[in-house]
Amino acid sequence: MTSDPARPFGRVLTAMVTPLAEDGSIDLSGAQELAAHLVDRQSHDGLVVFGTTGESPTISDGEQHAVLEAVMDAVGDRATVVAGVGTNDTAHSIEKAQSAARLGVHGLLVVTPYYNRPPQAGLLRHFTAVADATDLPVMLYDIPPRSSIPIEVETLVRAAEHPRIVAVKDAKADLGAVAWTLARTDLAYYSGEDMLNLPLLSLGAVGVVSVVGHVVGPRLAQLIAAVESGDLVTARAVNESLLPVYTGIFRTQGVIMAKAALKELGLPAGPVRPPLVDATPEQVAQLREDLVAGGVLR
């Protein structure tokens, strides 16, 4: 677990999938096995459990509680476990945050409320209300492709005044906004869009919350170390080696292909829950080609 205030959740985190049994029920032992694999063999110093890639919209609060408890039992003594608790209902998000805190998780991920399109004042009130609900550090999740509402720079500046809002997972694809927020706050930035890992790190992001980290964690650690040491030649080379993996995992919805990739590697994954659909044989065949090109499979 990290003790560096500049990177409060570590360097390499993956937005972990939620392993399911073939009947669609939660696979708790699979969640523990996958969490341990990511921490012990894929160079992760943290996991985000029940971000979007964990299929949080279709997994009940009770199921999420059980998975968080299982992951904490598996790796909570040696990795930072961040619980995704954001919803588009502030009261519900507070309940989820307090439930996760009682399990002993190390931090909270709070996504921009989606669908109901609150104004920036509503975003600020939502984020600070969730941050007030526990003593845990909070990472905001800025992802307008899903929420439709970006967190504006001025809102991030205001949010950063809260002592427990310490980080942002950025999937906004607005490098100018990131640069301004880093210039005006001490928020720790984490790349939440794998294809933009290198440019975000070069701007000053301290780590990644990745989907491809399920299969290339050590290379993400290498990428971060190269940027921090000023070795951009190595950083670019590592980034280029990862391009086929970035592309392959995101040819369709990330969790679909991440689970397909894990199955190819013999790791716990299982199906996705509706309305998502599992990868087709044709998609899996293309994914294998991408993973071979990216050095994951032979």
Residues 6+ apart with CB under 8 A from 191: 169, 170, 197, 200, 201, 205, 207, 208, 209, 210
* pTM, 2 dp: 0.97
CATH class of the structural domain 12-240: alpha beta
Q: Is 80 annotated as a binding residue?
A: no
pLDDT tens readout for residues 187-227 = 999 999 999 999 999 999 999 999 999 999 999 999 999 99
Using 50, 70 and 90 to split pLDDT, how confident is the model at 6?
confident
Whether 114 sits among the annotated catalytic residues: the reply is no
Q: Is 53 annotated as a binding residue?
A: yes
* Catalytic residue chosen out of the listed positions 96, 114, 115, 169: 169
For the chain, the structural domain boundaries read 12-240
Whether 169 sits among the annotated catalytic residues: the reply is yes
How far is Cα 274 from Cα 140, in angstroms, rounded to an integer?
27
pLDDT tens readout for residues 34-48 = 999 999 999 999 999
Q: Is residue 1 over pLDDT 70?
A: no
pLDDT tens readout for residues 159-189 = 999 999 999 999 999 999 999 999 999 999 9
* Catalytic residue chosen out of the listed positions 114, 141, 190, 246: 141
Mean pLDDT of all residues in the chain?
Answer: 97
Q: Is residue 67 over pLDDT 90?
A: yes
